[in-house]
A and B are shown apart, each in its own frame.
Chain A
Amino acid sequence: MGAWQSYRLRLKRRRFLIRCIRKRRELRPVTNRTKRIKPGDILLFSTQRNEAVRLPYFLKYYRDMGVNHFLIVDNDSTDGSVDYLAEQSDVSLWTTPRSYKRSRFGVDWLNWLQMRYAHGHWSLVVDPDEFFVYPFCDTRPLRALTDWLDASSIKSLSAMLLDMYPKGRIDAQPYKAGQDPLEIANWFDSGNYTIQKNNFFGNLWIQGGPRSRVFFKDMPERAPALNKVPLVKWDRRYAYVSSTHMLLPRGLNQVYDEWGGEKASGALLHTKFLDTFTVKAMEELKRKQHYAASVEYQAYATHLKQDPDLWCKWSEKYINWRQLEILGLMSKGNWA
């Protein structure tokens, strides 16, 4: 990387940081319990909008994993999720009625909260429909992973987004609050992902899965990115660039090995495709607050009207992380 490119990236990062500092005014604290954060705590950052039905299981899943504090930005919810979150003793909540799109899909808001509260902490950024799995997650808590990453001088961990879907119509089985969404959406595509390298930011650009196969089969270049780096030992000078797909400084995107070896990585089980999705897709289509003029949601809407079934004969049923590791979707690296 030449000095010029390095300078450009630095400028870019500075711009993102200034932008997120400016955007902090959009956030209004509902309950700020960040005083309870102790040194070394693992923090989770999330944005949410009308996810009341998902939140109970979401919080339980990550509490059991070992997350110590949740910092959540609510974007103008109307379904009571604000009240629910405000009651939780390990949640700090901010709310904003402002545009999701103009905060670069929540990234500015979270960058600010991370800058303010996550300095020196391990920080996990996930959406309420994303469930993080990592090697040995059934026997070792998240702290075992972060301690190991610390000991190995690794600052960021990759966890690819894995779209989960039910067998049959997406809206066939209703999801109840508190239920494990993986009981319904427990199928995934195991081997149809494409990878390209982004030489500017140094990250891999992964696409594929059921969304490419069904919704974007005519325009695969516009299929959503699946590469994510959700777990980072945060420093106040870091900034996410676009969602959690990549961040700056670009060394943090170097979560893959280029000399034949495998680095350790996890997966984010993405349980977007539940019965709640059809309604949500329609709403988001109207709000037009999503990436690239919500092209994703336009594609969903047209397909879902006809045939809302993502399952195919070669879909794989989810068992555990070891299955994902054998399939080559994630890796233990040299953690044993």
Chain B
Amino acid sequence: MSVGIVMLVHTALGRAEQVARHWHAAGCPVVIHVDASVPVKTHDAFASALSDLPDVTFCRRYRCEWGTWGIVAATQDASQLMLSRFPEVTHVYLASGSCLPLRPVQELIDYLKARPRTDFIESATTADVPWTVGGLDHERFTLRFPFSWRKHRYLFDKYVEFQRKVGFKRRIPEGIVPHMGSQWWCLTRRTLSAILQDPRRPVYDRYFKRVWIPDECYFQTLARKYAINIESRSLTLSKFDFQGKPHIFYDDHLQLLRRSDCFVARKIWAHADRLYQAFLTDSEGAMSRTEPNPGKIDRIFSKAVERRTRGRPGLYMQSRFPNEGWENGKTAGQYSVFQGFAELFENFEPWLTRATGTRVHGHLFAPERAEFADRQTVVSGALSDSPVLRDYNPKSFLGNLIWNTRGERQCFSLGPRDNQAINWDIAKDPNAQISVISGAWAVPLFQSNRDFADIRKEAALLQKIESDFLDVLHSPYVKARIRIWTMAEFIESPMEPLQTIIDEITQKSARRLSEAPHMADLSGFGQFLQNLKNQGMHPHLMGDFPVTQDTTPRDGRPPKPYLVR
């Protein structure tokens, strides 16, 4: 019994040579396919560098452009060569030149030996996979794709559109159900030879030649036809980003890869010297007998995808400047805006600080300066209190303040004397809590000792401004939580509205949780998900569950109990 390695190579031939030697040293025969676009000279140098290894052979070369038939043709040819040339081979492992074995090859051989009839190939029906790019899932199998997606995107898209409009449909050959999955598989001799020797193979080949990205569906579909026992997952650890291209591993992933317990990882950056050195030389590295568990790596990469597609709420920066409505959180955190409170209550700021423990500013948008808490001239993030700087871009100013003080709720006063430029922004922001006592701006005028003609003029102006603000707050686009009282209403019973506002700000739950509801028994859940996958249904909304429960320790001994003293 042995495992044959089919290697598809197109760049970084030096690395491919290293890996081929590694496989060969462990007793695995290797068949290498070199992309036809590699210059003859380079190819010959590569071939002669490996000529000292008896069980490394090369197959016919095809041009392997991404998403075309060439890759499948190359795989077929190489597999055929492998099966006929090395009769002792029982499993064939498809790998690329940038794949790197993470565990000693012997462990892979033992693992497969223990599962002699299992085919490891990710294979799911089209309806259940989340990873299709460009919205083409089932249509891959029913449309024609004569134009290159990479080089002639426009024509590609237009032709797809045209076929949809006309209602064109290709017929799927009888006897097969389209499945898709990772192109890196490990098949048994039995299944692979059945696929390659099928009398109807010319029919299937002709059909799949015109399917888009056949390398992700040819073997995945046909394996379903012959395999006895499909384990629908790839033994090759390979993560994809939101555009469907593989994530790349670098030197700083060394520890993560070590702990993943996966057999092979892809794709490795060709210059990641430390990775190649670590995994190709020390064989005793990880002597584990466990199932692959790529959970940690999965989380890191899905976080990266999340960052690229959703971003951090409330962040505006050089590489994130969302259009209106796409902010995923207009600001980074909740804040409260008070209008009229500081005028009506003499010690409103210190009182609110005491009552809520939040950061309470004065009139942030006052014409004289931004009245930061404690009247600092600069606050978090080196944000200046200069009114000119603030009014240059009031929206950025507020966004910066909330971003810079993430984790600490901000409260500030607003009034008709202040800059009104942010009215719409705060009104449409679900993070804002706006409380208004309308008309309270009259109190300072009442207390002032100014010429009455002046007072009259100013009162008219302030009333107009506040009335405009209230119109904004009454608009149907408002997302903020808004409370408005007239001054007369408010002074009748001030405690009640104040209590409501404070409760909403502090949101203290009365008690800490002392018990959780009882969770269902989940032992075997990972296996259950795997069984679904094996049936061609690809559950992905649960996140990544390891196949075996994580509680079984690496060496089979029960985990040490925690001592509580």
Contacts and interface: CB of A to CB of B under 8 A. Distances in A.
Interface of A: 136, 139-141, 143-144, 147-148, 151-152, 158-160, 189-197, 204, 206, 210, 212-213, 217-221, 227, 255-265, 312-316, 328-336
Nearest to B301: A336
B17 interface: no
11 contacts: A136-B250, A140-B250, A212-B389, A217-B384, A257-B320, A261-B308, A261-B310, A262-B319, A329-B318, A331-B317, A334-B304
A260 B245 contact: no
Contact of A213 (B243, B327, B389): B389
Interface residues of B, number: 52
Contacts, number: 174
Contacts of A143: 271
Interface string B274-316: 0000000000000000000000000011011101111110011
Contact of A151 (B245, B381, B403): B245
A158 B303 CA distance: 21
A264 B381 CA distance: 22
B308 A334 contact: yes
Contacts of B397: 194
A314 B378 contact: yes
A152 B322 CA distance: 21
Contacts of B51: none
B386 interface: yes
Contacts of B404: 190-191
Contacts of B384: 192, 213, 217
B383 A144 contact: no
A159 B318 CA distance: 8
A217 B388 contact: yes
B311 A260 contact: yes
B392 A204 contact: no
B379 interface: yes
Contacts of A335: 304
B382 A315 contact: yes
A139 B250 contact: yes
B399 to A, nearest CB: 9
A193 B396 CA distance: 7
B137 interface: no
A263 B247 CA distance: 15
A258 B328 CA distance: 11
Nearest to A267: B318
Interface in B393-435: 393, 396-397, 400, 403-404
A262 B316 CA distance: 10
Contact of B382 (A139, A191, A196, A331): A191
A336 B269 contact: no
Contact of A189 (B304, B305, B328, B382): B382
A152 B303 CA distance: 18
B452 interface: no
Given A140-B250, A333-B307, A262 B320 contact: yes
Contact of A331 (B271, B307, B310, B378): B307
Nearest to A214: B384
B379 A264 contact: no
A259 B319 CA distance: 11
A259 B400 contact: no
A196 B317 contact: no
B133 to A, nearest CB: 13
A173 B61 CA distance: 64
Contacts of A313: 376, 378
A258 B403 contact: no
A164 to B, nearest CB: 13
Given A191-B404, A192-B400, A194-B396, A160 B382 contact: no
Contact of B269 (A144, A210, A257, A264): A144
B131 interface: no
B243 A140 contact: no
B250 A144 contact: yes
B381 to A, nearest CB: 2
A329 to B, nearest CB: 6
Contacts of B323: 258-259
A152 B245 contact: yes
A314 B311 CA distance: 26
B308 A262 contact: yes
Given A136-B250, A151-B248, A220-B389, A261 B304 contact: no
A261 B382 contact: no
Q: Give 10 closest A-B pairs by Cβ, nearest first.
A: A191-B381, A334-B308, A336-B304, A265-B319, A189-B382, A191-B404, A194-B393, A194-B396, A220-B392, A139-B252
B320 A256 contact: yes
Chain A binding site: helix, strand, loop or mixed by DSSP? Answer: loop
Contacts of B242: 334
Contacts of A192: 381-384, 389, 400
Contacts of A151: 245, 248
Most B-side CB within 10 Å, residue of A212, A264, A313, A336: A336
A38 to B, nearest CB: 15
A255 B318 contact: yes
B380 interface: yes
Contact of B271 (A141, A152, A212, A221): A141
B317 A329 contact: yes
B251 interface: yes
A208 to B, nearest CB: 8
A30 B23 CA distance: 53
A332 B382 contact: no
Contacts of A331: 307, 317, 319-320
B241 interface: yes
B485 to A, nearest CB: 34
Contacts of B403: 191, 328
B309 A261 contact: yes
Most B-side CB within 10 Å, residue of A136, A152, A256: A256
Given A160-B318, A260-B326, A313-B376, 17 more contacts: A148-B248, A151-B245, A151-B248, A191-B382, A191-B403, A192-B381, A192-B389, A193-B317, A194-B400, A196-B393, A206-B318, A257-B308, A262-B307, A312-B378, A330-B319, A335-B304, A336-B300
Nearest to A336: B304
A217 B386 contact: yes
B252 A140 contact: yes
B321 interface: yes
B319 A333 contact: yes
A220 B403 CA distance: 21
Nearest to A151: B245
Contacts of B393: 194-196, 220
B319 A147 contact: no
Contacts of A159: 318
Given A191-B404, A260-B322, A328-B312, A139 B381 contact: no
Given A148-B248, A189-B382, A192-B381, A334 B305 contact: yes
Contact of A195 (B241, B312, B316, B327): B316
B315 A262 contact: yes
B307 A334 contact: yes
A140 B269 CA distance: 10
A255 B321 CA distance: 10
A195 B321 CA distance: 8
Contacts of A330: 317-319
Interface in B532-548: none
